[in-house]
Each structure stands twice: as structure tokens, then as C-alpha cells.
Amino acid sequence: MLTLNSQGKTLHSSKPLIMGILNITPDSFYQKSRVTAVSEAIDLAGHMLVDGASIIDIGGQSTRPGAQAIEAHEEMDRIGGVIEALLKAFPAAFISVDTYHSDVAKQVVGLGAHIINDISGGQYDSNMFKTIAALNVPYVVMHVNDHINEMHTVKNEASILPVLHDFFTATCNAAKEVGIHQLILDPGFGFSKTAEQNFELISNLSAFAGFQKPLLIGVSRKSTIYKTLGITAADALNGTTVLHTAALLHGASILRVHDVKEANEVVTLCSYLQ
């Protein structure tokens, strides 16, 4: 059972949720997730909602390896109008914004967004935790290296589980201290980890059950899948489905995906297995 409360709305589900990816960027790694026009964003979001997404996750900058970081003002220039248009077109939808800038978090929640999805887990902006506490919205914290220029650097090739346990322990304690009440944990599949560690993560998600927080998993079409299979991101749907299945069977609460219809089918079938 998962319940999220934000901006006077409640998202309540007895099964895992689907978060659809909507990138307002020119350079995100999977071409079909990218849009630049508001009309394109409305069209793609509409299809994802019909196919079973409960949350639309809007990103204004790419975090793929080699991507150029942008400042908060440029990020807002990309996503502000899209957020307003989506909330007008789909007033019942839950909107998440993928950002590590606290200034962006403030502005998008002011526009009506419901969730902040921070790939830095609060590490890249020292004001983020207190900002989220003041905004009182659900907050996704992802594990990644603590320096923005090293988000894709592997510093440890041993088991990643103790590293994540320590990170989430510190994160949960810090969140509680400042008054963040709706914390969602993301182990950071594909960030600061080897392919072997990414597979270790999927197989051991139940190790994080003790935190008693929802687990968000973002494996969709990532390089661990397509490089392992010797294919491209465009051909990685089948591999993504396999790892979505494993993630759900090991305790995932939210799947962040490019392909909503297929992910929703996985959620439905796994609910019968469990």
C-alpha cells in the first residue's frame, strides 16, 4: 500500500506505481523520451496517463554520461511552461520534477508540481533538504557520488549494499531532522556503479525493506541492459521488462519508465505472482 499526499491531492494505490519519463531536453539518452514543444509534451503525457502512469516525471536537463550541466534558470525556462500546460490539460495527474536545484524545486511546486525527484539525494544543493521540508511534498532521494562531476565515476567495485545502507541511513536521519515526512528512496541504478553492482542492487532490493520507505527503481533502457545484451537503448525494452519484473518481485514500489504500457503489464502480472 502506497500513499502520497501533496498540494491537497492524494495518490493512493495497493500496487506499485508507474512514473512516466518526460524529458524537456535535447540530449537525454533515449530519443523517444525527449520533447521540445509544449504540444508534444501534452501528447506524450496523455498517452502515458492512458497507458497506466500515475505520475509524470518532468526533467529539464540530461544526466547521461557526458551531458553538460545547466543552471537553475535555464532548467526553469525549459520546464515551467510545460508544467503549467500539463496541469491544465490533466488536472488529476501527479507531476514530479527531476531536479537537484532547490530554487527550481521552489518554483515548480509554486506552479503546482507534486513531487521533487532529486538524483543527487540532496548532495548537490545544501539548501534542498530544508526547502523540501518547507514545501511539504514527497521527495525522491537517489544514491550517487557526492560530487556532481563524479556522478558516473565508480569509486568502489566491492559490494554496493553497505554503501547504500550507510547512505540511506544518513539520508533518512537528515530528512527526519529537518521535517521531511514523505521520503522515497532510489538506489541509483546506473549512477556511480559498475554493471555488476547494478545487478546486485536489483537482486537485493529487499535489503532496504527495513527503512520502511517506498523504493523507486529507474532501470528503463539504461546502459547496463543494452551493453550487457550488445544492443542499443532503442532495442532495450525486453531487457528492461526483465529487470522491472525482478525489481517488483524484490520490493520495488515505483517504476520510473519510458514505456508505460509495457511496465503496467509487468505490474499487473507480478501482482498475481505475489
- Residues assigned a catalytic role: 222, 256
Judge contact between 263 and 256, C-beta under 8 A. Answer: no
**Rounded-to-integer distance, Cα 29 and Cα 14, Å:** 32
Judge contact between 142 and 119, C-beta under 8 A. Answer: yes
Q: Which three cell numbers stand for residue 201?
A: 542492487
**Three-state secondary structure readout of 198-226:** HHHHHHCHHHHHHHCCCEEECCCCCHHHH
Q: Which distant-in-sequence residues (6+ apart) come within 8 Å of 173 by Cβ?
A: none
Alpha helices in 101-208 (DSSP H): 102-111, 128-135, 161-178, 195-203
β-bridge partners, 217: 255
- Percent of the chain that is helix, strand, coil (3-state, to 5): 45, 15, 35
